[in-house]
Chain A
Amino acid sequence: RRLCILKGIYPHEPKHKKKVNKGSTAPRTFYLLKDIKFLLHEPIVNKFREYKVFVRKLRKAYGKSEWSTVERLKDNKPTYKLDHIVKERYPTFIDALRDLDDALSMCFLFSTFPRTGKCHVQTIQLCRRLAVEFQNYVIASRSLRKVFLSIKGIYYQAEVLGQPVTWITPYAFAHDHPTDVDYRVMATFTEFYTTLLGFVNFRLYHSLNLLYPPKIDSQADAELKPTEGKEYAMDSESYLERLSALSSSLARVVAPTHEDEVEMDEFPVEGETAEQMDAKKKEQEALEKHKKLFEGLRFFLNREVPREPLAFVIRSFGGQVSWDKSLCIGATYDATDPSITHHIIDRPHVEKQVVGRYYLQPQWVFDSVNAKLCLPVADYFPGVLLPPHLSPFVTEQEGDYVPPEKLKLLALQRGENPDEESEEEEEEEEEEEDDNDKEEEEEEDESEKEEEMKLKKMEEQKTQSNKALPVKVTAGKVRVEDKQRLEQEQQSEEKRLAIMMMKKREKYLYKKIMFGKKRKVREANKLAAKRKAHDTALREEKKKSKKAQRA
């Protein structure tokens, strides 16, 4: 099992399950014979055996209380390395980056475990170190793109060498360890992931000309040392702590030579029109702008705010950040510093406000990052009811439901300022949406109805003509038939007839696809309806409160 985890071997679903399983259909897992042979040839198998022998000997020596033997055995403890497996599983660096999601999530989870029980302290420390190193890399390369506060944890998405890497970190609380989880499996995964992440970090740091293991910029270091040294006696620990404070830049092997400013050379690719080029350029510019979102802003984190995620996010968009000195090492400036522009606070009200800075709730930082622009601060003052926090990972396709908040945001991004008439617009948008929905519904019904309608009309005509003889002649109404509608009807009928002619298999597929589409529409409609109900309820409440005020 352990070997399977390390080597990334997974079972296969056989084509003929019954044949493989000798006639029974009981669920079993099947591995490829090739994979099993492949595992047998792995050199690490021998190392595992050695380790097993070592453990047995050690236990025996303990039992006999032969302490010198114990010492000797411990000195010769067999070790194994997973380097070659990493290389084998990920022949290229890009492959490794592609699979980094799980590795990061796991490392971030393990780094929050308590140092007791459950798993080895060294593992936890290593995880913590690697996670912090990766965060530092993201800061240094400014590659963070999206952040999302979910109820499960905080999702981050960074773009490392063109690959989107997404990971989730839990909120900083003690875990209550579930009993139905096999920690050995998790530990084996972590073992592999730490190795992978270590190599990836090494490579990433070198791609940025940074030292690995990371060192804090000597300049900043000098500033920090005298004050911090006293409070933190243990040097080795304080180093990691300071690193994890994420407040200072890292030392480079080569002094930064403003390489970032070098204009990208333009290689006109053949077949690429000027428009595409333009679009590309624009995108590039937008990206650059996004990277420098918080440049020049100075943040101060109040003590009740989760420090690490916020510091990480702000720093990776170029902002400067500090916190209360007693909270953590590495605070660079004080709360009273007059140059602070944004004070992140998560309390219902502020006791004493300093003029010249915004007091904001932490969601502002995350929402701004996702919106790629500094949002208007008014919605985020302390004590204010926050606007909803939307997921940046959702990209609406055509026909999907788009929440009104997102529409507003998109409008903001386009450069419009709908703040004043936002409400009206919202309403309009909603109305539009509703109209659309109705139309869709109608369309669905139409196809069924139209046939009946036609027949009815005909019948009417006929009855008219039949009855016209004995009964008095009534003036025929001029029936203005919508030509478009007729055409539509005809087309839909043709389509239905064609559907009738489809082969059985294709028909099945077609029906499935159409079912999926309809379900999507239904869900969107449901959401919209819910939203509408909610809004109307709100409006009525408002009206009521207004009336009450007037009275």
Chain B
Amino acid sequence: PLPSVPLQDIRNTVGNIPMEWYQDFPHIGYNLDGKKIYKPIRNKDELDMFLEKMENPDYWRTVQDKMTGADVRLTDEQLELVQRLQRGQFGDVNFDPYEPAVDFFTHEVMIHPVTNRPADKRSFIPSLIEKEKVSKLVHAIKMGWIKPRKPKDDTPTYYDLWAHEDPNSILGRHKMHVPAPKLRLPGHEESYNPPPHYLLSEEERLAWEQQEPAERRLNFVPQQHRCLRAVPAYPRFIHERFERCLDLYLCPRQRKMRVNVDPEDLIPKLPKPRDLQPFPTTQALIYRGHTSLVRCLSVSPSGQWLVSGSDDGTVRFWEVSTARCMRTLPVGAVVKSVAWNPNPTLCLVAVAVEQSVLLVNPCLGDKLLYGATDQLLEAYVPPEEERVQPVQWVLPGAEEHGKGIRLIVQHGKPVKQVTWHGKGDYFSSVVSDTSSRQVLIHQSSKRWSQAPFQRSKGMVQCVSFHPTRPFFFVATQRYVRVYNLLKQELTKKLMSNCKWVSSMAIHPGGDNVICGSYDSKLAWFDLDLSTRPYQLLRHHRRALRSVAFHRHYPLFASGSDDGTVIVCHGMVYNDLLQNPLLVPVKVLKGHVITLDLGVLDVLFHPTQPWVFSSGADGTVRLYT
């Protein structure tokens, strides 16, 4: 106990509390009477403190009493006590820490008990509480809630698991099982010190950063480090392992049949084009003269003359072998179609110009021949009774007659196409109209026309006669209808599988038809086989404009807007069991694409394996 030495009897009654509580108050507590004890006035500044420290000899033994705030000078006894405590000694001077120890109980066993109290009764009778506890345990054991401790399992954790492996006992599950694919092994670019060209350049790195993480071909940026010491930890290592784990148990596995074929094997084995000769291979002649696109072509049955009709309003007659323009016939409008009469004893060309079909005698070749033609036309005797005709047959004036025009068949509507029957007497014209009179069949010798159809079945694209039998082919937008002219009935309807048929040609045998379409397909029909195309050929890249068969050779050609003519070998066998053999043999280029149009018409020479083509560039070309 510290005896405090108060100067006055100021005793603070606040008790044993932290004095900081009174920090903000002017008083420091209350005295016995309940009056406030005010804090002593402290107006000493640093200098005063210092002076006091220098001057007061008892400064070092002066402490401040926290309870009263007064300075207290420690007495000598107090000082001694403080020093003793600082040294770690007992506070009491008189206390002797080294007194001899006296045992309270001796370690020797005595004869008599220390206390003579008799044992309790409860030490003789079984404890109820314990009994309750035990019975609870017994009950729990009985009920199986508490289980005996398991014997230590001392079998080794690892043993030879595959000691009796039997490869035959593999379950069915394992046959179906798809083992996890292994991770890809790293390439050169993953090395810490790759060859310099594997490092990404600046733009490649930018591209890499802009890609989605899933899209990147490499999931890291190749880096180069000078030495092994400089290689840092890979920050995505745990990620990658985790992704692998996810892949292993969340990704569906599937056996993907890797097509491991040699691409060369995929290419069908076709007979060599060299073995399929003859066919046109090179461009031989160019017939120049037209100033606008040449829409149509036709060859005389002898193969000596070529006629072409163009958008510049002229029909030109050429000599095939020399490319000389023999005659030019101005007709004053766009020539949509020309057709040379296939009868070799006649020299007559049908030209479709605007709303009329002109029958022109070109006056070329044998004088006897074209004289006979004129005579034949003039030998017409008008019938007694005038029949109602869908068209008007008009004789041309003298001037036109001088140009060679012998007859004018005036239709009410623009004529699209004109085509001759094989015999050379009948010809048919197609009018761009939606009515039933789209197709007209004319007989030139009797100057008589008729409209064979009662109802229109859609826009007729082109028509054609069967070369030998009385069939008539009409191609509408999507179908090709075959009519029997004798029986006057529909015999077949061919589905072209194309969007818009543009042209049609009939095999000279008459059993096969090809259709070109504006969606760049060429359909080959075998009339005996089915009404669907036997084969659809997608050789051209743009719309097909025209197709043609050769009269003798097994060749057919197609001309397209992409400026090419593709010549194919199309062998038709007499044996019905054998399917036709179609082999493309040559791609002929030469026409320049103008106004997005390339080749507008193709045509074979009647006797030679030559092909003519007329193009939008105003030329006619001959390939031999």
Hey, which bits of chain A sit against chain B, CB under 8 A? 1, 4-5, 8-13, 29-30, 38, 72, 75-76, 79, 83, 86-88, 90-93, 95-96, 98-99, 101-102, 105-106, 109, 148-153, 155, 166, 170-171, 173-178, 180-182, 185-186, 189, 198-199, 201-203, 206, 212, 304-306, 346-347, 361-363, 385-386, 388-391, 393-394, 403-405, 451-452, 454-455, 458-459, 462, 493-502, 504, 506, 509-510, 513-514, 517, 527-528, 530-531, 534
Contact = CB atoms under 8 A, between A and B. Distances in A.
B585 A497 contact: yes
Nearest to B182: A101
Contacts of B246: 185
Contacts of A502: 266-268
Contacts of B236: 152
A510 B158 contact: no
28 contacts: A9-B249, A10-B252, A38-B173, A92-B165, A102-B248, A150-B186, A152-B237, A155-B186, A170-B234, A181-B239, A199-B160, A362-B228, A363-B193, A385-B226, A388-B194, A389-B194, A390-B195, A391-B186, A394-B187, A454-B282, A462-B284, A494-B272, A494-B273, A495-B267, A500-B539, A501-B582, A506-B268, A531-B196
A153 B182 CA distance: 17
A509 B186 contact: no
A91 B165 contact: yes
Interface in B261-305: 261, 263, 266-270, 272-273, 282-286
A295 B166 CA distance: 40
A7 to B, nearest CB: 10
A80 B136 CA distance: 30
Nearest to A90: B162
Contact of A199 (B158, B179, B238, B239): B158
Interface stretch (B145-153, B341-349, B388-396): B145-153
List the 7 shortest-distance A-B pairs measured between CB atoms, nearest first: A173-B233, A393-B185, A531-B197, A530-B197, A150-B190, A388-B195, A13-B252
Interface residues of B, number: 94
Interface string B65-108: 00000000000000000000000000000000000000000000
B453 interface: no
Nearest to B245: A189
Interface in B390-405: none
B150 A76 contact: yes
B110 interface: no
B116 to A, nearest CB: 38
Contact of A175 (B238, B250, B587): B238
B186 A455 contact: no
A155 B184 CA distance: 12
Contacts of A182: 242
Contact of B188 (A212, A391, A495): A391
Nearest to B262: A513
Contacts, number: 271
Nearest to A528: B197
B192 interface: yes
Interface of B: 146-147, 149-150, 153, 157-162, 165-167, 169-171, 173-174, 178-180, 182-183, 185-188, 190-198, 201, 220, 222-223, 225-229, 231-242, 244-246, 248-254, 259, 261, 263, 266-270, 272-273, 282-286, 537-539, 582-587, 589-590
Contact of B240 (A76, A152, A494): A152
B314 to A, nearest CB: 22
Contacts of B159: 199, 202
A92 B237 contact: no
A454 B588 CA distance: 11
Nearest to B539: A500
Nearest to A491: B272
Q: Quick one: which of B197, B229, B259 has the most chain A CB within 10 A?
A: B197
Contacts of A180: 239
Contact of A361 (B173, B196, B228, B252): B228
A180 B213 CA distance: 16
A95 B165 CA distance: 11
Contact of A459 (B162, B259, B268, B283): B283
B238 A91 contact: no
Contacts of A388: 188, 191, 193-196
A528 to B, nearest CB: 8
Contacts of A98: 179
A5 B244 CA distance: 12
Given A199-B158, A498-B267, A170 B248 contact: no
Contacts of B165: 91-93
Given A8-B249, A390-B191, A504-B538, 19 more contacts: A10-B252, A79-B153, A92-B167, A101-B183, A102-B248, A149-B191, A152-B240, A185-B246, A203-B161, A305-B229, A346-B229, A454-B282, A458-B282, A462-B285, A500-B539, A501-B268, A501-B582, A510-B263, A510-B266
Nearest to A30: B252
Contacts of B587: 451, 493, 496-497
B251 A11 contact: yes
Contact of A151 (B190, B238, B583): B190
A109 B243 CA distance: 14
B162 A393 contact: no
Given A38-B173, A151-B231, A497-B587, A109 B241 contact: yes
B252 A29 contact: yes
Q: Quick one: which of A201, A305, A403 has the most chain B CB within 10 A?
A: A403
